[in-house]
A and B are shown apart, each in its own frame.
Chain A
Amino acid sequence: MNPRILAATTGRILRQLRHDRRTVALLVVVPAALLTVVYYMYVDQPAPPGQPAPFDRIALVLLGFFPFIIMFLVTSIAMLRERTSGTLERLLTTPLGKLDLLFGYGIAFGLAAVVQAAVAAAVAYWLLDLETAGSSGLVILIAAVNAVLAVALGLLCSAFARTEFQAVQFMPVVVAPQLLLCGLFVPRGEMAGWLQAVSDVLPLSYSVEALQEIGSSAEATATMWRDLAIVGGAAVLALVLAAATLRRRSG
């Protein structure tokens, strides 16, 4: 990796995003709007005894989930465009290293996710009265790490997609199982053993657990840091695999 090339690549990706005002608007507005819908869905639902209010429980998980879904999609398409437009082929003849490109995407879309998560969190905490025992800054941190994981998985999956149609089909494959098994719908401890085993190897399960730790503890817990490290480790692993699938020479 070369710091100058990495910085130039990150800047280039952010510049592309900046020129696309509609995408920026959608990135910022949609999660906050959906959280508002969820708020009104649960506004009259009583809190189960000894548990947080349903909106608090769900909104917290969604704050981590939106960046994951959206950045996965954005990255898959962005990387596919690099392949189909020939820019990737050209980049690979320049001094740019594969990791410069992959980390460039990770950093650029990670920053975009921080902005997105900050706006969504601001709406959730200030307008929708979200209450968590722990700090909102940690929620945004986990959202950002989720986004980096999503970027890494998107870069990896784009290697297996030849067309936009295929790229979009990877979203349900990657996102849906993690959403279903993360513990949002059924607590992980109450699932059938084999589902738990699947859930245990899905990184999003750990980021949801980390968010739940923030929801219930005033101070950051050791479990939360461990979970965050697991999600970060999964992101690095996916980036390394993505680098391995990115070949300078093709047939």
Chain B
Amino acid sequence: MQDAIAIRDLVVDRGGRRVLSGINATVPYGTVTGLLGPSGSGKTTLLRALVGVQVVTAGTVTVLNHPAGAPQLRHRVGYLTQAPSVYADLTVRENARYFAALQGRSAAQADQAVTDVGLRTAAGQLVATLSGGQRSRASLACALVGEPELLVLDEPTVGQDPVLRAELWARFHAMAAAGTTLLISSHVMDEAARCDQLLLIREGRLIANDTPAAVRAATGVDDLEEAFLRMIKVNEAGTAGREAS
């Protein structure tokens, strides 16, 4: 079976600066894949390339067997932007119902998505009056409402309290078990352990594309943050070696 996402030699320049330099990666169907890397490493740019809103300098991005951004994908891919992209002057329910209508889903399905992110009691509240964490969950509800085959989530758990964060991760895994593919970015390494697959990026380069177990085995350490640091060192030594020779 082919992969849900296949990225080949992806290069992206933004504002005259190389943000992604030659990314090669795959994401299998029905997994929760974590895209991890420090702030400014190119995570958001990679996700934007996947949903087809990023101008790409070189390389190909294939999503569900179509080129990223193809019209056929627009009801099969859900995208959560990093900053909550919902209408502040609408209620949570109105936002969810609007994005549901765009995907041909019913108002009842929209209300269910609002309940799923734990905002049932705040459904009638204007988004402008919500807390930061609630606002990003309102935004998440609008990404979930179309029941897409691929969910691209840019830092969905930032600003959520630990209980909610655990609930959200449980929901993500339940969705993956039901066949949805999820790609979730985070700059918090302790979330890496919750993923089936990891994509580690730093300064626009992919450092690892493997399972957490394989990353641990390759580096010989249990802590994924420590493992990530070791991989960076190995990677930099390799780059320096190539440049010197």
Chain A residues proximal to chain B, CB less than 8 Å: 4-5, 8-9, 11-12, 15-16, 19-20, 85-87, 89-96, 248-251
Contact B52 A12 (CB under 8 A): no
Cβ of A146 to closest chain B Cβ, rounded Å: 26
Contacts of B83 in A (CB 8 A): 85-86
Say yes or no: B74 contacts A95, CB within 8 Å. yes
> Which one of B85, B102, B142 has the greatest number of beta carbons of chain A within 10 Å?
B102
* A79 to B75 Cα, complex, angstroms: 23
For A11, list chain B residues within 8 Å (CB). 98
Q: List residues of chain B with CB under 8 Å of any chain A CB.
A: 13-15, 48, 51-56, 69, 71, 74-75, 77, 79, 81, 83-91, 94, 98-99, 101-104, 126, 142, 146
| Shortest distance between the CB of A210 and any CB in chain B (Å) | 35
B53→A12 contact, CB < 8 A: no
Asked whether A85 and B85 contact (CB < 8 A) given A5-B101, A94-B99, the answer is yes
Some 28 contacts from A to B, beta carbons below 8 A apart, are A5-B102, A8-B101, A8-B102, A9-B102, A12-B87, A12-B90, A16-B90, A19-B90, A19-B126, A20-B89, A85-B83, A89-B85, A91-B102, A93-B74, A93-B79, A94-B74, A94-B99, A94-B102, A94-B103, A95-B71, A95-B74, A96-B102, A248-B69, A249-B53, A249-B56, A250-B54, A251-B14, A251-B15
Q: How far is it, in angstroms, between the C-alpha of A16 and the C-alpha of B128 when the chains are bound? A: 12
Q: Whole-angstrom distance between the alpha carbons of A9 and B98 in the complex?
A: 7
Once A93-B52, A94-B102 are accepted as A-B contacts, the answer to whether A249 and B87 lie under 8 Å apart by CB is no
Chain B hits for A8, CB < 8 A? 98, 101-102
> Nearest Cβ in chain A — how far from B214, in angstroms?
31
**Given A90-B81, A95-B102, does the pair A15, B52 have CB atoms closer than 8 Å?**
no
When distances are taken between beta carbons in the complex, the residues of chain B under 8 Å from A92 are 53
Which residue, of A5, A20, A95, has the highest number of chain B Cβ atoms within 10 A? A95
With CB as the reference atom, state the residue of chain B lying closest to A85: B85
Judging by beta carbons under 8 Å apart, are A87 and B102 in contact?
A: no
Taken together as a complex, chains A and B put the C-alpha atoms of A19 and B93 apart, in Å, by: 14
Known: A90-B79, A94-B74, A248-B52. A16 touches B102 (CB 8 A): no
Q: Which residues of A contact B104 (CB under 8 A)?
A: 4, 95
**Nearest 4 CB-CB pairs, A to B?**
A86-B85, A8-B101, A12-B98, A86-B81
Known contacts: A15-B90, A15-B94, A89-B53. The answer to whether A94 contacts B75 by CB under 8 A is: yes
Q: Is the CB of B87 within 8 A of A87?
A: yes
Within the complex, what minimum Cβ distance (angstroms) separates A27 from chain B? 15
Q: Are A95 and B103 in contact (CB under 8 A)?
A: yes
A222 → B minimal CB distance (Å): 42
Min CB gap B94→A, angstroms: 6
B85–A16 CB distance below 8 A: no
CA distance A93 to B87 in the complex (A): 16
A249 CB contact (under 8 Å) in B69, B84, B146: B69
Minimum CB distance partner of B79 in chain A: A93
Across the interface, which residues of B come within 8 angstroms of A91, CB to CB? 102
Residue contact B101 to A4, C-beta cutoff 8 Å: yes
For the complex formed, measure the closest distance between the CB of B48 and the CB atoms of chain A, giving whole angstroms.
8
Q: How far is the CB of A249 from chain B (nearest CB, A)?
A: 5
